Amino acid sequence: MKTYSTADANPAALRDKTTVIYGYGSQGRAHARNLHDSGFRVLVAARAGGPSFAQAQADGLDVDTPENAVPKGDLIALLTPDMQQADVYRDVIAPHAKPGAALLFAHGFNVHFGQIAPRTDLDVILVAPKGPGALVRRQYEEGRGVPSLMAIHQDATGKAKELALAYADGIGGTRGGVIETSFAEETETDLFGEQAVLCGGATELVVMGFETLVEAGYQPEVAYFECLHELKLIVDLLHEGGMAKMHQFISETAQYGDLTRGPRVVDEHTRTQMRAVLREIQDGQFAREWVNEHKSGRGKYMELKQRDLDHQIETVGQRLRASMSWLRDSASAKKEATEKQTAPAA
């Protein structure tokens, strides 16, 4: 594994060039502000009159329409949602990007699965912080950085890697370490983690545990606490110190139950299904399915999502969370911090 730090980056490779940020959501906003504060020349591409245009202006950044901004970009960071990127590339970037520019992604989905076939004169790179935009920004402001992945898909100018490291350095990634990977590895592992463990796997485990207790006659409120609410306690321990810290801070009774019953719940059948999910990612089946679902109006997606939102665990959870004052305090603090960050300068 090759890991790069601040010592490996040459910020001058990008600092005097224009970096266009196309997509001013969670990641895009964090990247743009961090790059700007690092002394880079940043131009946000956003629809005139839209909320992103106004937000970028309030943040003190230069903003222009995509059609005007893209031709000025020496590096264009395409940070819109996955399902918008192919159209954005086809309609705006491909016809307007200057020859020899760099095209940067934070997720390799569209390039890896062939939804975007970049022009051959473009450097095509990936810089993917392993954390949400708010964390990328907060860590930068505190003088730290979120570890990131870096990949080169196309090195048309011979300077793609230098540009990727300069960009990663500008957003703070080299402070946390930048791991070299490929578009294929980043994309396939990211999708697998989401589907089998972090989102699909975890939520299905939580819901099935809740349903098992409720079906057995236990109160839904108690089942909610045991199967969903307390999950954060364990995840925090794992996040901070791995298995070792979890075992250090849970009871011996919990440890014994973990070690003897856990493998019965998540067993070889689960591993077999995980391998099947991974194969569907690797051979493009999932990508084709999701792209087709999006193009057909996303009816199945919306139906499945609504089923989740209508589940009993959600109605019980909403009622219980309303009495958790610390959640309200946390939400208020985050809102206040966001308002301070977005307030225009006097």
Cβ atoms of 158 and 121 within 8 Å: the answer is no
| Ligand-binding site membership of 258 (annotated) | no
Sheet with 3-4, strands from edge to edge, namely 3-4, 178-180, 148-154, 123-129, 102-105, 75-78, 18-22, 41-45, 62-64
| Ligand-binding site membership of 190 (annotated) | yes
| Ligand-binding site membership of 148 (annotated) | no
Q: How far is CA 172 from the centre of its chain?
A: 16
Residue type, 283: D
Cβ atoms of 203 and 231 within 8 Å: the answer is no
Structure tokens at 24: 């001013």
Give the DSSP H or E segment for 18.
strand 18-22
| Ligand-binding site membership of 267 (annotated) | no
Tell me the C-alpha distance between 286 and 112, whole Å.
13
| Ligand-binding site membership of 123 (annotated) | no
Strand partners, 19: 42, 75
| Ligand-binding site membership of 323 (annotated) | no
| Ligand-binding site membership of 24 (annotated) | yes
The pairs formed by 201-205 with CB atoms below 8 angstroms and a separation of 24 or more are 202/231, 203/308, 205/265, 205/266
Distances (CA, A) of 247 to 13, 80, 256, 263: 46, 40, 10, 16
107: annotated active-site residue: yes
Cβ atoms of 231 and 250 within 8 Å: the answer is no
| Ligand-binding site membership of 296 (annotated) | no
Query: How are beta strands 75-78 and 102-105 bridged, if at all?
Result: parallel
Residue of 36, 107, 112, 153 marked catalytic = 107
Give the DSSP H or E segment for 251.
none
| Ligand-binding site membership of 26 (annotated) | yes
Cβ atoms of 96 and 71 within 8 Å: the answer is yes
Query: Which residue, among 189, 70, 85, 74, has the nearest Cα to 128 in the 3D structure?
Result: 189
Query: Which residue, among 151, 195, 190, has the nearest Cα to 173 in the 3D structure?
Result: 151
| Ligand-binding site membership of 226 (annotated) | yes
Known binding residues for NADP(+) are 24-27, 47, 52, 133
Known binding residues are 24-27, 47, 52, 133, 190, 194, 226, 230, 251
Known binding residues for substrate are 251
Residues with a catalytic annotation lie at 107
Known binding residues for Mg(2+) are 190, 194, 226, 230
